[in-house]
Each structure stands twice: as structure tokens, then as C-alpha cells.
Amino acid sequence: MYERFTLEGKAYPEMGREEEFEYITEKYPQVPQTFLLKTDLERRGVSFSEKAREALQNPSYEHTTQLLFQWHQMDKTQENYEHPLCLYFNDGTGFGIRLGAPESDPWEVDFIDGDFWLMRGSEPFEELSPLPRPLHYGKKTSSGVPMQYIAIAKPSDAFIFVPYRHCHYWNAQDQCRFCDMDYNTGLQMKLGRGFTTRSTPQDIYETTLEILKEEGRWRHLCITGGSNPREGYEREFEFYLSCAQAIQRAFKEVYGRDQIPLYLVLSPYSKDKLERFRDEAGVTRYAPNLEVWDPEKFPLQCPGKNKGLGREEWIKRMLQAVEVFGEGNVECAFVTGTIMAPPPYGYTEIEEAVRSDVEGIRFCIDHHIKPISYNWTVEPGSYFYKIGATQPPLEFYVRVDLERYRLLKEYGVKHGHAFPSGATDYRCCPWSACYDWERLL
């Protein structure tokens, strides 16, 4: 699996799942087991036993819809079964379900004596729990759209709205090289069920009202989706503003508040537009994800973003976002792992790749931007899938996580307080252990 990777100039040993997990556990004993499992689960994916699949069909569980990406290493089209977005270990660490391709040697989830278990060989290893189904699932908006196609649980205390499921970067084949958004949208349209590229603000408003009825379930609301760089991102901005205002309208009706726990994962608009989000829609947090820090690799991996704004402008606007929303209320996500995509897109040497990613993390922390990870999955339809890219070793992810943790601790010492972190938390980030590490600060 890793013959092309090196560590300190030496070929990285090729290891199976068990051997690699054992090796990393021994080499990095400071990493909590569930964090390590989560990281490897995002990387290798999971498979379900027949019993687990059957048990997961229980309608009281949260079953996700593939609104934004497939998330999986293979098309989920041939087997018609439901599964949650996320499963939780008993310590509250949750991992996103990514169906693993056989060549990734995925972990298996089984159902034994009424409980879900992550298996190690034929032995139960860690107990797992799904979450209850959100109350708005199964309901429809007045225009007839199922509400789980408007907002999905992400998963224990956040809801994510994906009102725009097409990204214009794909039109000219300038999509981010790890992304499968339009492929997924095309696939979902083909599967029928009335899948559309957009949600309307009215549908968003009605869905928000339903979500807010479930008190205690939500702490954050999020909007994300595709980009539309036409007319200087003007159309994109106008559309997303109307979506954010729809959420604010519902919030105001229920709680009488203007400022809402809504964070946006969108392009970095100009400062005046960010202020409009804050002032006209009550948005409190922002995440203009750069995706890839490395100055050489960014244009190769994110050609659309590079042509649309360019890396320097992107970063400049990230900093302006901090001025608008405040320290700790701006996040920047990196798709951790793609820095080890096949050359020229990434590096083969683990040291070099870690150094590059950590540089980005350090920059963010120094500028009061919270650096987070969405760990890479090689998804069908993405450019990297087509060129046969494979995941970096588990050790790469562990080293990035440990460095981020160290830098966040340093921040606390330097400033006399922890990193001001208000955007999201470990309960709602199933795709990397970065938030889980914050629990140890």
C-alpha cells in the first residue's frame, strides 16, 4: 500500500491494518486509542457485517443523506441500505462512516448481542453507538422537499445545510483534485428522488423551524456548498446571504435573537460582504477553507480557487474574516492527507509533508484562526481517485495531529488562555481527530 512513501529518506514499510495499528500504538503511546482508531477509520473506511447492516436499518437511528459528497471510497449505488453519518465510541469520540474499498483493508463493524462493535479480527474491540434520528427527518417542506435533503445532522450537536450542491469549478475541470461534489450530485440525480442542485431559502427557513423544535439536539448550524466565481462570486454571495437570512428569520421567530450560532463554510468574500453576513444575517463564525497550505501544491490541487482568487488573496481575506468575526471565530480547514498525493500534487516524504501542513497550522494559530482537518478519503469521481492515488500512512496523520496539539498548547502558554474556540467542537466533527485533541488541552 505505501511503497511510494518514505520516512527520513527510507522506504516506508508496507503494513496491513492490524500490523500498522499495532506499530503506531507502540510508537506513539501518547495518542488515545479512540483518536487513533478514528484517524484510521477515516483513512481505511469501514465495512458492515450483515447483522450490523440489518440492525442499522432501525428507523429510530440517524440515517444520513449524501448531500455534499459521497464520503465513501466506492459508489454506494448497488446496495440499498441506510447507515448513519457517524458512529460514536463510548468516550464520545465519533467517526464519520466511510465505506471502505476492499483494497484499503477496512475495519469491520458487527452487531453482537444487541450492540454495535468495532471488530479486531473476530474479537469485539470498541463498542459503538448510533445517534437517534433527528425529528425533522421524514418531514417535508411546503414545497414537498424532504427536510433531510435540506439539512443533515452533523451529527450530535450540529446541523449542516448544503443549499448549493454544484461547484462551478467543475465546469472548466478546475475542481479541487480531492473533491467529488459534482460527481456525487450527478449520481444522486441519476438515482432519482428529485435531487436538485439547490435548496430554496423558504425550504431552509421551514427546515430550521423544525430543527429548532428539537431543543438540546443542536448547538451549531452550518451552511456550506459549492462555489460560483462568476461576476466576482457575486451570485454565490447573494444566494448564500439569502440562505443565511432564512435561518436567521426562523431563529428570530423562535428566540427573538439577531445573532445566531451559524457558521459558514464558504469562499472568503471581501470584507464588506463578510460584514453583511454578520450584520444582515446574524452570522457569528466563518470558515473560508484554504484546503491545502503548501504554496506550490495549492495551485495544483485547487486550480479553481487559485484562478478565482489566488492563494495570497485567499489568505488576506481569511485574516480580514478574523477582523469581522473575532479571534477564534474563524476556522480554516485543510484536507489533511492530500499533501501526500502522487507527485507533482504532493510529497512522497512524510517529514516534508508534515512540515508543509504544520506550517499552515502554525500560520493559522498565530493569526487566531482555528486550524482544522478534514481527513482525505479517495472518493470515486475525484481527480485523485482517477489517477489511482492512495492514502498516506497512518503515521503521517498522527504526526500532524500531535504537532497541532503541541502548537495549540504553546498558544495557551503564550497568551495565558486557551485558543479562543467558538466555531465548532468534537461532537460535530467526525472526519478527523483534530477537535478531539482539543479536549485534552
Partner 1 sequence: MEEHYQILAYIDDLEEAHRLAQESNLSSKLVKMIDSVRGDLVELAPVLASDKDYQRLAEVVEELIEDLIESCRKGEEASCGKATETLQTQVYEMKNSLGMEKAKALINGNGFTLIGTADKEGKVDIAFCGSATIIDGKHVAVACLLLSRTAENLEANKHATIIGSRISEESPMDTEVARIYCTLAKEEAAGSIFVMMRAAIEKEAGKTVADMMQKVYLFEIKEIRISVPSPM
Binding positions for partner 1, rule: CB under 8 A: 75, 77-78, 164, 166, 168, 170-171, 173, 182-183, 185-187, 189-190, 196-198, 200-201, 235, 239, 381
Closer residue to partner 1 (CB): 196 or 390: 196
> Letter for the amino acid at 70?
Q
Q: How far is the CB of 70 from partner 1 (least distance, A)?
A: 12
Which phi and psi angles does 106 have, rounded to 5°?
A: -70, 160
Q: How far is the CB of 392 from partner 1 (least distance, A)?
A: 26
Q: How far is the CB of 14 from partner 1 (least distance, A)?
A: 31
Closer residue to partner 1 (CB): 60 or 78: 78
Distance CA 361, CA 293 (A): 8
Q: How far is the CB of 141 from partner 1 (least distance, A)?
A: 14
Cell of 51: 447483522
Q: How far is the CB of 72 from partner 1 (least distance, A)?
A: 15
Which phi and psi angles does 372 have, rounded to 5°?
A: -125, 170
Closer residue to partner 1 (CB): 197 or 421: 197
Q: How far is the CB of 380 from partner 1 (least distance, A)?
A: 10
Q: Cα–Cα–Cα angle for 424, 232, 357, nearest 5°?
A: 45
Closer residue to partner 1 (CB): 94 or 381: 381
Q: How far is the CB of 152 from partner 1 (least distance, A)?
A: 19
Distance CA 96, CA 39 (A): 10
Closer residue to partner 1 (CB): 246 or 315: 246
Q: How far is the CB of 182 from partner 1 (least distance, A)?
A: 4
Closer residue to partner 1 (CB): 129 or 196: 196
Q: How far is the CB of 385 from partner 1 (least distance, A)?
A: 12
- Residues present in the chain in total: 441
Distance CA 428, CA 156 (A): 6
Closer residue to partner 1 (CB): 155 or 381: 381
Question: 319, 314, 317, 316: which is closest to 299 by C-alpha?
Answer: 314
Which phi and psi angles does 136 have, rounded to 5°?
A: -80, -15
Closer residue to partner 1 (CB): 39 or 207: 207
Q: How far is the CB of 200 from partner 1 (least distance, A)?
A: 6
Closer residue to partner 1 (CB): 78 or 122: 78
Closer residue to partner 1 (CB): 354 or 389: 389
Cβ neighbours, 10 Å, residue 385: 19
